[in-house]
Amino acid sequence: MSGVDAYLAAVPDARRGALTRLRELCRAELTGFEEVMAYGMPAYVRPGAPAGEIAWANQKQYVSFYLLRTDVRDAFADRLAGHDMGKGCLRLRHPDRIDFLLLRDLLRATAAAGPGPVC
């Protein structure tokens, strides 16, 4: 069992479906990226890059989606404006209402952008 598989197995049932769907979306959109465990959470690293550009985690009060590309975050500022967004963390408080279309678009933009700045 991979580290990400074990991570998902330990997630509460109420969030496992949303996190599994998020993982599938990351794997589909981030072709060529390596899925790894970093800082105790699943992350996606571009070959040759020193750090991941995308990560996600199950937190006590929400699901975290880490969008670590500052250029992509800036390009999506208008679509992210209504969301609970920190410096690099989109906090998804309702797993049953995650905007997977927004996440897909963020992943696609990250993959298409090539290597770039991370926060």
Indicate if the pLDDT at residue 116 is higher than 80: no
At 9, the pLDDT band (50, 70, 90 cuts) reads: very high
Report, as an integer, the average pLDDT of 85-96.
92
pLDDT at 5: 96
Name the β-bridge partners of 37: 42
What is the model's pTM? 0.93
pLDDT band at residue 1, thresholds of 50, 70 and 90?
low
Class of domain 3-111: alpha beta
How do the domains of the chain map onto residue ranges?
Answer: 3-111
pLDDT band at 118 (very low <50, low <70, confident <90, very high): confident
Q: Kindly write down the DSSP assignment for every residue of the chain, as one continuous string.
A: --HHHHHHHHS-HHHHHHHHHHHHHHHHHSTTPEEEEETTEEEEE-TT-SS-SEEEEE-SSSEEEEE-BHHHHHHTHHHHTTS-B-SSEEEES-GGG--HHHHHHHHHHHHHH-S--B-
